Structure 1
Amino acid sequence: MNRHILTTALFALTLTAPPVVADIGLSPFAGFRMSSSVNIQTAGASTEDQIDFRDSVSQGLALNFDLAEPGKQGELYFSRQSTSARLDNGLFASGVASIDLTIYQLQFGGLYFPAGKSHGGFVSGVLGVTRLEPEDSGYETHHRAALSLGGGYQFFLTEQLRLRLDLRGIYTALNSGGSAFCSGGCELRFDSSGYLQVEAGAGLVIRF
């Protein structure tokens, strides 16, 4: 009899106990990224042109962890975009009109939910580095500082699952006068302080 009462009591406690709150979220996502042009010039000459990055699909992974203050999370953001760069009016040093490349971003920052929860509307800000990596190893790879600001909404599905929608602007800083996708002797130089990309993405947040 006592054993039956104890079993019943334990079962009742498991039903009334609050769910365990997750403090880490892993979010694979896919999106679409649009880019502005980059002004360039030929070294030692007055010739000016623009590099255009093709709008294309992006993929990535975001890792979030809850901070002590409700509604705040740290975030580690990684993304990649397969695209191409082409000159509006000229050719690159090797005589080609466009270069296939992959753009990587690795950034760290945080999310803020004004409602003080781990779901609902949020704003985001992360800072890190952009890697511009041409597929042809004959061209130089560039690393530049980058900043991302944005916002979105996380729909509550279960305690361990959210649907996350994002809209972010990614600004990559360029040192004016720096080389631009050189192969051998380089004549192209960045003539811009940076370029902006806008990314719309969606993914599932798995919390544990």
Structure 2
Amino acid sequence: MNFKQPFIFTTALSLMSTSVAADIGITPFMGYRVGSSVDIESSVASTQDQIKFKDSASQGLILNFDLPEAGTQGELYFGRQDTSAKLDNGVFAPGTQEIDVTIYQLQFGGLYFPGGKSYGGFASGVLGLTRLEPDNSTYDTEHRLALSLGGGYQFLLNESLRLRLDLRGVYTALDSGGSVLCSGGCELTYRSSGYLQLEAGAGLVLRF
């Protein structure tokens, strides 16, 4: 998906829009993620290691809709990050210490403006799934429960357009003892209950 297109589309529609009450917001965004490491061990040799996901750009789409209580909105968050997973010392397979991975999040929750408006400072919380999808199909794709908490600010440009800045923590829960990014017979298992990524993002909110 080319995420330049939604930004162009959003800007074009905003120029044609009128100053009317709005109850739905669509936000294509671009961001950057940094993350923690994941402790693992070899189930055969009982050796310990760490998986580190490379810090990289992220992008996605956020859908908001106003709720009856002033200053509250429902929120659907979709994010994507193209990154790589690297072992500190071991290998995923013979000769493979690093693999390319695409991380997806699909989460639903809410957004709250303390001032009771649809712009200004806000807090957000969403819950859903993380999908870890290796670019090499010989490795397993994994789905894990995920939670995102954060906050930010929406600058009012006009009644139909906002500039949204976000800072959120994305926590993905892991099944300690479960397998990790395996190819065929798996010898690597999680020794961590989860890992945390921090994402800073910016996008244009089209309200209609």
**TM-score, shorter chain, exceeding 0.5:** yes
Structure 2 counterpart of 1:87, which letter?
L
Q: Using the alignment, how far apart are the partners of 2:108 and 2:101 within structure 1?
A: 23
- RMSD (Å), alpha carbons: 1.1
Q: Which residue of 1 aligns with 2:194?
A: 194
Structure 2 counterpart of 1:191, which letter?
R
Q: Using the alignment, how far apart are the partners of 1:116 and 1:174 within structure 2?
A: 36
1:34–1:197: 8 Å Cα contact kept in structure 2?
yes
Q: Quick one: percent identity of the two aligned structures?
A: 73
Q: Which residue of 1 aligns with 2:170?
A: 170
Q: Using the alignment, how far apart are the partners of 2:101 and 2:48 within structure 1?
A: 22
Structure 1 counterpart of 2:97, which letter?
A
- Within 5 Å, which residues of 2 pair with 1:122-137? 122-137=122-137
Q: Which residue of 2 aligns with 1:151?
A: 151
Structure 2 counterpart of 1:76, which letter?
L
1:93–1:186: 8 Å Cα contact kept in structure 2?
no
CA deviation string 1:140-187 (max 9, x = no partner): 000000000000000000000000000000000000011111101110
Q: Which residue of 2 aligns with 1:8?
A: none
CA deviation string 1:65-119 (max 9, x = no partner): 0000000000000010000000001111243010001000000001000000000
Mapped pair 1:206 → 2:191: no
Q: Using the alignment, how far apart are the partners of 2:140 and 2:121 within structure 1?
A: 40
TM-score where L is the length of structure 1: 0.90
1:94–1:183: 8 Å Cα contact kept in structure 2?
no
Q: Using the alignment, how far apart are the partners of 1:155 and 1:56 within structure 2?
A: 26
Mapped pair 1:100 → 2:94: no
1:29–1:59: 8 Å Cα contact kept in structure 2?
yes
2:20–2:160: 8 Å Cα contact kept in structure 1?
no
Q: Which residue of 2 aligns with 1:36?
A: 36
- Within 5 Å, which residues of 2 pair with 1:46-61? 46-61=46-61
CA deviation string 1:114-151 (max 9, x = no partner): 00000000000000000000000000000000000000
TM-score where L is the length of structure 2: 0.90
Q: Using the alignment, how far apart are the partners of 2:125 and 2:95 within structure 1?
A: 40
How many residues are aligned here?
Answer: 191
Task: Determine which structure has more spread, i.e. the larger CA radius of gyration.
Answer: 1
Structure 1 counterpart of 2:176, which letter?
S
- Within 5 Å, which residues of 2 pair with 1:1-150? 19-150=19-150
CA deviation string 1:32-86 (max 9, x = no partner): 0001000000004320000000000000000000000000000000010000000
Q: Using the alignment, how far apart are the partners of 1:94 and 1:79 within structure 2?
A: 32
Moved over 4 A (4+): none
Q: Using the alignment, how far apart are the partners of 2:179 and 2:46 within structure 1?
A: 16
Q: Using the alignment, how far apart are the partners of 1:174 and 1:27 within structure 2?
A: 29
